[in-house]
Structure 1
Amino acid sequence: MTTRRPMIAGNWKMHKTCPEAEDTARALVGQLTGKEEAEVMIAPPATALVPVSRIIGDTPVQLGAQNLFWENQGAYTGEVSAPMLVSAGCRYVIIGHSERRQYFGETDEGVNKKIKAAVAAGLVPVICIGESETERDGGKTFSVLDKQMEKGLEGLSEDQFSQAVMAYEPVWAIGTGRSATPEQAQEVHAHVRQFLEKRFGAQTAGAARILYGGSVKPANTAELMALPDIDGALVGGASLKPDTFAEIIHYKR
């Protein structure tokens, strides 16, 4: 049986100036022992990547970005490339977050290009998928997720996908305070792993980490993490406060 190291990732979204991000990162590092069971990643806004990288450089905390563009360079005003993120100290990059899809027209095809650009640059993509409330209520959860994975992972080899992290984030549970029940979350995570097994084989699917994201908080982390196919959490608002985020990281205490 494959042992998957849990991962707790904090997506800071459009919060925190550079000084605020530095203070938050410094406070978070102070809450950690260095012997955490879970791998810890934080994704500050792009402006704060370099200063945060300097603070967490020699600590167990990994740096992630919230987005990237699929070209390495060029006349793409306002965009940030994979090599730029690597040079800023990033190890991870979140791709296809529901807010990118909802507000900025991100498509499955665009997600696919971004995943390939990330992998080519040595970044680990955290690939987000999820359904809306209307889609869930209409019984379309699995078909929506299958389409997102089919198109988003198209053309990726088993080797290219092998380091990737999946993140299931039910859109109806993001920032709403409403979370999927443990049973709902496990059912979807098991489905995602079955899809990955058909696509990449049992070994790769068994090793893939699948995170849950959607109003994760200290009160529900341990229950979610106890489920067989949930390997961590992609945390939004609760990651902005170091004390609260540290509680989630130390969910077994």
Structure 2
Amino acid sequence: MDDNKQLKGVVLVRKWWPILASFGGAVVMLLAFFIPSVQDQWDRYKSRKVIEEYVSLGDDLLNEERYKMAEEAFAKAFELSESKRLDIEVKRLTAHVSRVHENPDWNSHISDSLKEIDFQFLLHFQDDKNDQNHRINTLNCYGIFLARSGKLKEAKAVFDEALGLDPKETITYVNLGNLLDQQKKYSDAEKMYRKAIAIDANNIYAHYNLGLLLELTDRPEEAKKELTRANELETKPNE
């Protein structure tokens, strides 16, 4: 009797063994498919590390106002991410549109690489209260772009939007002053420069542009005072 039970048990195991073996093989294959190898994980880690190094480099270059090089660093990081990191693309666009500052001459030619859609795309992703400072910066860049493109009314509206977000942002007043100066509205332009100085007495751009305006309107002594102050701030930026 016991021998029969043992025999049946052996037969049962033999019947089930191929099924169990197949099931075990399938599990192993699934695990191999879903769990990356150690080498794959290491490669991904190194790739992420390189991407973040390029992003960090881009951030540093952007802070140093080296916009073209910053844009190139972000572009490389975006490429390495296989075009999947939208946050990096936003950083690249930020550096790209900031290139309006490369030539300080208000009436200078706009680079052909700058397109209006770049500003609009960036503003679309900065439509958030938590991103207000970046949006103000983009609006100021956009306003400069529009002004240099001859779209003065549109530029004024963009600068006004920036002021609506932060009425104490001095660079917006300076840009408005430049826009009004461009239209030969010298009295209004002067008010904008002086407003910027009232908010920040050490704003070099406000002093410099006000000095040029005073010189243009035949007030040499006042102009000299403002230009001298601008020069002092440039040589002693931490004053």
Q: TM-score, normalised by structure 1?
A: 0.30
Is the radius of gyration larger for structure 1 or structure 2? 2
Q: TM-score, normalised by structure 2?
A: 0.31
Where relative contact order (Cα < 8 A, 6+ residues apart) is larger, the structure is: 1
In terms of fraction of residues, the more strand-rich structure is: 1
In terms of fraction of residues, the more helix-rich structure is: 2
